[in-house]
Structure 1
């Protein structure tokens, strides 16, 4: 099995998790408490991915300030994309269109970045690619759940919702192939900087999207417990499978 095939198989792990989240939203009544708990768990996992795997490896670069700047640039890029998505959502609302389609586009972009992360990590170490794929999977379940639930509220047919959920495999597979093929022979400094760049974008997603959405769905005294549990889940994955 060649390297690219391995990377694509790894990328299928979070893609399947996202699809299962979409299927779950078809059979489980939409509950604010359940959605909030799932998003806090996902938040803890993403923070652990960035803090325990991405940045420690990225800071091994010489000079280390390059991935540091890349980390900030990743956050800046996400804020720009988020602003543009908000603008499109506002325009769609004015025109009477369904805003959930903007959510769908944001999810596709997030999955693309997940794929780039897996492909890039695999060029450094296949085990890192596996850890990133396993770490992202639990975060993609609630994301798929929320996106498909939004499409259901917009009265998209069940067939359309299932096809849309299955279509999420395309951006993550494309991102994984791009990250692997573009960076497998690149200098370490560039590869580690791309890791940091993606980490900055992921952290911004957590702060600007996942946490506010979780609190909008429901606020409970267990929020921080779910977040810490999610962090610990990925810590266990990286400790015992790494």
Structure 2
């Protein structure tokens, strides 16, 4: 039970970051360019989590080809789920505007994968779980900001927006619970493969969702200028460097 309580406490960190991002969206108005830069920084953090923690841990397996295949499978799994979400959006928002349910589903899916990653990482090593949780906080703040801002543009009432922002804690806690209990007694190869699968899904999320959404936010109000791509690239690299610093100093 002590280990499970640790998992819940670690999962609460990115959940709190997501909620704080939502609150910031209510208090501050950020331009499309600013949101694009924030999303690029979040993408950099996610890529660093995958490249510096998840895959090196997974490749420590005595049969590294299995986690490598799982990594590819994770990318395919995300693409399949993305297709389902696209169908739901087309079904419930035929005018092309994502409905609140579709928005909530997309963010919940990402947070659920974060929870699985934290739960699985904690089974492998509690220090790894801490690193993964701490590294997700700077990525989830802009994600929460973008989600609530989108809900506001969709005309959702303020009380409902705040309720949905708070409810984003549910999928990450469920994912952490499943990751912990399902893999607590599993063979090491299975656990490491789940880490790799999660890494593949997160990489696909960055390429297919976060970066395109960042550029869309910049262009939304005609704000994009020639300097914006340079700022985006710098923000992505800075996000990667931020998690690298967390990994180097917190991981010791």
Name the residue aligned to 1:115: 115
CA distance in 2, matches of 1:88, 1:77: 17
Question: What is the Cα-based RMSD across aligned positions, in Å?
Answer: 1.3
- Secondary structure of the structure 2 residue equivalent to 1:62: coil
Which consecutive residues of structure 2, in runs of 5 or more, have no partner in the other structure? 219-223
Using structure 2 for the length normalisation, give the TM-score.
0.93
Q: Which of 223, 227, 231 pairs up with 2:236?
A: 227
> Paired residue for 2:60?
60
Partners of 1:69 and 1:98 in 2: CA distance:
33
SS of aligned partner of 2:60: coil
d(CA) in 1 for partners of 2:241, 2:211: 18
| TM-score calculated relative to the size of structure 1 | 0.97
1:30/1:149 contact within 8 Å kept: no
Given that 1:37 and 1:214 are in contact with CA atoms closer than 8 Å, whether structure 2 keeps it comes out as: yes
In the alignment, structure 1 segments of 5+ residues that lack a partner are none
Partner residue, 1:135: 135
Of residues 215, 220, 245, the one that matches 1:236 is 245
State the alpha-carbon separation in 2 of the partners of residues 110 and 145 from structure 1.
14
1:73 aligns with 2:82: no
Q: State the partner residue of 1:205.
A: 205
Deviations 1:208-242 (A, max 9, x none): 00000111112502111100000000000000000
Asked if structure 2 preserves the Cα contact closer than 8 Å seen for 1:101 and 1:151, the reply is no
Measure, in 1, the Cα distance between the counterparts of 2:77 and 2:162.
30
